[in-house]
Structure 1
Amino acid sequence: METSFLAIGELTATPSVAVVVDVMRAFTTAAWAFAQGAERIVLAESLDAALELKARHPEWVALKDGAPAPGFDAVNSPGRIRGTDLAGRTVVQKTTAGTVGALAVQGADLVLCASFVVAGATARALRGRPEVTFVVTGEDGRAEEDLACARYIAHRATGPAPDPAPYLRRAADSTAAAELLQHVRKGVHEDDVRLCLELDRFPFAMSAAPEDGLTVLRPYGERAGRGRP
């Protein structure tokens, strides 16, 4: 497997297979939303687009980065979303990096959205693929937690599973982890960092594909189920 690791701004063409990585917190939160019963997640290109979708579909759950805001039902926090019953619901998600990265490669044949909690399932979905582009979304492609997760998935997809400890340690020492622990970022739950560093918490990967003019994220492979206690 030939792999490349690019920031969103470094994408010059649409890859055939893309893995969009956002560990803290978009695609950890998304995985928890599926575990809590969400049917699908619509990835919105802007806050205004998310609010417009919510206005057209009041029963949908709108979710954003940062502090709670009028019109939104939830924030981009795995610690907060894990206590929400989302059975059969559609979630609209807009985040600073993760959703932007997924929309940037929406023309790819396969788009997987990944974090540590779905790393193993993502690696399994990539086996046999000749070429994979990992989109490192945080900090203009320099986010240590996203780079660590991307490289871990790449190694696991091409051979025996490597020792996860160095990768998780790199993520735990990242700027993003420090900002969450110190509540520099808004809309934080005290368990967010711990939840973002749980390897293989869920047995499914997550794929984004066009549906009715929207970009929709769904579980890929094994079905989502509620998270282990």
Structure 2
Amino acid sequence: MGHHFVGIPELTGVPRVAVVVDVMRAFTVAAWAFSRGAERIVLASTVGEALALKASRPGWLALKDGAPAPGFDEVNSPGRLRSRDVTGRTLVQKTTAGTVGALAVADAPLVLCASFVVAGPTARFLQAHGREPVTFVVTGEEGRAEEDLACAEYIGHRMAGAAVEAAPYLHRARTSRAAAELAGGLRGGSHPDDVALCLELDRFPFAMVARREESLTVLRPVTVPGARPSPS
């Protein structure tokens, strides 16, 4: 395939095509936000920037990793976000790994943010645009997060067009360190359903593309022809 799989510290230069993977939980949360009606997600580099952006734009909402905190409307949890209506709203997202990885490659000509819930549409989007090879940014644990690497490899194989058995990749994610920490309540702002929600393959029928919009890095959903949401 010729794809590259790198951690954030290993990034050098500007890739031609980057897929930034954060399964647990940034880009699962982002997908849920779009499914709940969000118009766009602005990726913030710091907690202070997230709060400043929210304060300067009436109606914007902010979310971050960890436990609830003053000034933030939500935490980085799909289990918590899935019941919230954010129709037409702009969210500002700051997380420990996912948003950091996306901002690190924000100058690339094409940047997609991905997790298992949009894995198939992401692969189809890349196929349709003839974009190979891809630099997959494995955001967790400095590139060693098993759930992110499994998802990245799965998308890479799906791009080849052949049938791919998803179960082994989902098993790697389900038995990862991140999944164990979430299931054990060791990560702040978690919900009992977070792990299961992060492992819902192709839950949503869109890919997520990050682009520069003025001085901001903005994530938006892009409908992928032929993609169908999985049964809920």
What TM-score, normalized to structure 1? 0.96
2:171 aligned partner: 169
Q: CA RMSD in A?
A: 1.7
Question: Equivalent residue of 2:103, what SS?
Answer: helix
1:139 aligned partner: 141
Q: Is the 8 A contact 1:32 1:227 kept in 2?
A: no
Q: How far apart in 1 are the matches of 2:231 and 2:53?
A: 31
Q: List runs of 5+ in structure 1 lacking aligned partners.
A: none
Q: How far apart in 2 are the matches of 1:62 and 1:215?
A: 15
CA deviation map 1:62-121 (0-9, x unaligned): 000000000000000000010110000000000000000000000111000000000000
Q: Shift in Å at residue 228 of structure 1?
A: 6.2
Question: Equivalent residue of 2:219, what SS?
Answer: strand
Question: Equivalent residue of 1:159, what SS?
Answer: coil
Identity across matched positions, percent: 68
Give the ranges of 4+ consecutive aligned residues of structure 1 lying more than 2 Å apart after TM superposition: 225-229
Q: Is the 8 A contact 1:62 1:74 kept in 2?
A: yes
Aligned length: 229
Q: How far apart in 2 are the matches of 1:94 and 1:67?
A: 13
Q: How far apart in 1 are the matches of 2:102 and 2:231?
A: 27
1:23 aligns with 2:11: no
2:207 aligned partner: 205
Question: Equivalent residue of 2:211, what SS?
Answer: strand
1:149 aligns with 2:187: no
2:82 aligned partner: 82
Q: List runs of 5+ in structure 2 lacking aligned partners.
A: none
What TM-score, normalized to structure 2? 0.95
1:62 aligns with 2:59: no
Mark the CA change 1:32 to 1:189 in structure 2 (over 3 Å): closer, same or farther. same
Q: Shift in Å at residue 58 of structure 1?
A: 3.4
1:193 aligned partner: 195
Which residues of 2 match residues 49-128 of structure 1 at below 5 A? 49-127=49-127, 128=130
